[in-house]
Amino acid sequence: MGDNIKQLLARSRTVLKGASLELQLRNPYARKLGQVNNMLHWLDCCDTSLSYCEREYQNVAKYVLNATNKPVQIIEYRSCAEGIEHPTFIIVNKSDYANELEAFITLYSHQLEHSEEWYLKDINPDNIEAYLDNTLYPYLREFEYKLLDESNVLADTAWYSEQALDRILNSRKEFESSDYRSGLYENGQRLEVDDDYLFPVEGRFCQGLSLRSDWNDVEMFYETTQEYVLFVWWTGA
């Protein structure tokens, strides 16, 4: 893609995002808001599509190698209940990222580290190509990259996390021992929570993508005005 076209697309994206935020403040139910957000998705989906990730192979490698230098918040709802399991939010601040692709690759690199139990610090320039070809891209090729609206994202993430939190709070009442496995964890550290615990994601919803939507495996990537978020839930039930 030529530099002039990239610049035009970047300016168009900036204008449309400004219009979207303004419409959300004035009338969040306006039909024009949906039209603007659809145009935004048309522009932005290239930043998280498989074909774009493949074209940006060198940048993806750079983002993976730099992932350990980026602050990431991992919130786990460990319910220890079959069928509920533990939904997980992986969250980064938008101000720390140059673009959506960098945030997406960083978030998913941390998700793979978290779920596969190996370490990002072990990836280096000598083995990055093998990591991309054998680990990261096979996952990216499984995703559906399907547009999600605000109601889809908020309803699904709330449903999974609230079920898990209810189970966690009930388990606390049943088991007084502080070392019981059930709990809410932030970056591996157990948090003390109650019924008034606040949802971990900040900012107004901008756009979202479904990556996986199976009955036992849900993954979605979405953006708010302040953060990029990867939500993951699965069950072996």
Could you tell me if 74 and 38 lie in one domain? no
Say if pTM beats, i.e. exceeds, 0.85.
no
* pLDDT one-digit tens code per residue, 129-149: 999 999 999 999 999 888 888
- Whether 161 and 168 have beta carbons less than 8 Å apart is answered as no
Number of domains in the chain: 2
State which residues form the domain around 9.
1-45
In the prediction, which pLDDT does 2 show? Answer: 42
Residue 169 Cα distances to 155, 162, 200, angstroms = 21, 10, 17
127 and 19 within one domain: no
pLDDT classification of 43: cutoffs 50, 70, 90: low
As a whole number of angstroms, the distance between CA 84 and CA 175 comes to 18
- Same domain, residue pair 145 and 227: yes
Check residues 185 and 84 and name the one with the higher pLDDT.
185
Q: What is the pLDDT of residues 60-118, one digit of tens each?
A: 999 999 999 999 999 999 887 776 778 999 999 999 999 899 999 999 999 998 887 67
| 154 and 188 in a common domain | yes
Among residues 187, 185, 193, 188, which one has the least CA distance to residue 166? Answer: 193
Identify the band that residue 176 occupies on the pLDDT scale cut at 50, 70 and 90. Answer: low
Between residues 188 and 17, which one has the greater pLDDT?
188
Question: 66, 148, 150, 147: which is closest to 105 by C-alpha?
Answer: 66
Query: 79 and 4 share a domain?
Result: no
pLDDT tops 50 at residue 211: yes
Q: 33 and 54: one domain?
A: no
